[in-house]
Amino acid sequence: MVSNIIRAQKLTTGYEKFTVFSDLNTTIKAGQITTIIGPNGCGKSTLLKTIGRILKQQSGEVFLQEQDMKLISTKEIAKQLALLSQNPEAPLQLKVEELISYGRFPHRKNVGTLSSKDIEVIEWAMDITKTTAFRDREIAQLSGGQRQKVWLAMALAQETSILLLDEPTTYLDLAHQLEVLKIVERLNKEHHCTVIMVLHDINHAARFSHEIIAMKEGEIVTVGSPKEILAKDVLKQVFSIDARIMIDPENGAPVCFGYDTFLEQE
């Protein structure tokens, strides 16, 4: 049986007067990859940020292992949950390895130097993200894909069992998108990392997720397996598209291989 690692209860979040979603309930299962999809402005990033306490909810609770997150110290949360935001910008003169080492911040007690355990974890994070080769370079010298892998490595150095990723593949080319998602998949399979991410590409969502949360206009339309979500009626309801779906014979994942918008009168 899979237990719920995160549970949102009657969650309401917004910016000033504008409410993005209200009284939202959802659960995230431990050890799975859960992807949130939905049209622009549906509140998927806002939901992720609220779960990751980057945004403060106006009301409602987020429970981490059935404990109200408001009652856990932010440093304690940082040992269990890491969040990679959409367009992180580091000081450009920063060296790759230095940036990754900041992922150890929640684990370090004093100002002192890195412990052997810290160094071990940093090496592991660089190894798994294949960033070891440019560890000595400055952020300014890296391509978009390399930067994203470095940020991912920093989140991994945080050594958490939960990873929140906000559109980790945006602005990356096809190969880099897949590379990042394969790293995520490996983390989930080999290290039992619970992953919650926001993706725009529904085919990637279908291929890499155990469960998909489909959102529209601040509400969760439906939650289900990739096959349940990549269905004509669901995609019509969520994205207002007429999708053509088939099963990829290579990996059994449903694929949307073409789609059209509906005509006005429909």
Partner 1 sequence: MCKSMINEIKKSKFVPILIIGTAPLFIVITIALSILYGTKDIDITTIWLAITQFDSGNVDHNIIMQSRLPRVFAALLVGAFLAISGAIMQGMTRNYLASPSIMGVTDGSAFVITICMIFYPDMSNFNLIIFSMVGSAVGAGIVFGFGSFMRNGLSPVRLAIIGTVIGTFLSSISAALATYFQISQNISFWYNAKIHKVDPDILLLAIPFGLVGLLLALYIAKSITILSLGEDISISLGQRTKWVKFISILIVICLTGTAVALVGKIGFVGLIIPHITRFIVGVDYRFVIPCSAIIGGVFLALCDVGSRFINFPFETPVGVVTSLIGVPFFLYLIRTRGGDSRA
CB of 162 to partner 1, least distance (A): 11
Q: Which tokens sit at 257?
A: 């291989």
CB of 164 to partner 1, least distance (A): 8
- Residues lying near partner 1 in the complex (CB under 8 A) are found at 49, 52-54, 73-79, 82-85, 88-95, 97-99, 102-103, 105-106, 111, 113-114, 116, 119, 122-123, 132, 135-136, 154-155, 158
Cβ proximity to partner 1: between 73 and 251 the closer is 73
CB of 94 to partner 1, least distance (A): 5
CB of 241 to partner 1, least distance (A): 31
Find the angle CA(224)-CA(247)-CA(171) to the nearest 5 degrees: 75
Q: Give the residue among 94, 76, 208 at the shortest CA–CA distance from 150.
A: 94
CA 161 to chain CA mean position, Å = 13
Cβ proximity to partner 1: between 75 and 244 the closer is 75
CB of 166 to partner 1, least distance (A): 9
Cβ proximity to partner 1: between 158 and 209 the closer is 158
Cβ proximity to partner 1: between 117 and 244 the closer is 117
Cβ proximity to partner 1: between 194 and 226 the closer is 194
